[in-house]
Amino acid sequence: MSMSDEMRGRAQQMRDKAKQLQEEAERASDPQERQRLQEKARKLRDQSEQQGGMTGSGI
């Protein structure tokens, strides 16, 4: 497996985790918990986009 493939796989895992966190945020009843989960999901999406850019693959 090449370094590029590993980075793409990692970026995909990060996007999947971000989606999971966003779904958890939507179900959260506590506004502070919802905000925390949404922020964490946003950061993961940003990181995955950066990694996707480094491999030359768009999202």
Which pLDDT score, from 0 to 100, does residue 58 have?
47
Q: Are 54 and 7 in contact (CB under 8 A)?
A: yes
**Pick from 55, 49, 59: which is nearest to 1 by CA?**
55
- Expressed in percent and rounded to 5, the helix, strand and coil fractions of the chain are 85, 0, 15
Q: Are 37 and 28 in contact (CB under 8 A)?
A: yes
Which pLDDT score, from 0 to 100, does residue 55 have?
56
Which pLDDT score, from 0 to 100, does residue 1 have?
60
Q: Are 41 and 23 in contact (CB under 8 A)?
A: no
| Total-model pTM | 0.78
pLDDT tens for the 59 residues of the chain, in order: 677 788 888 889 999 999 999 999 999 999 999 999 999 999 999 998 888 776 554 44
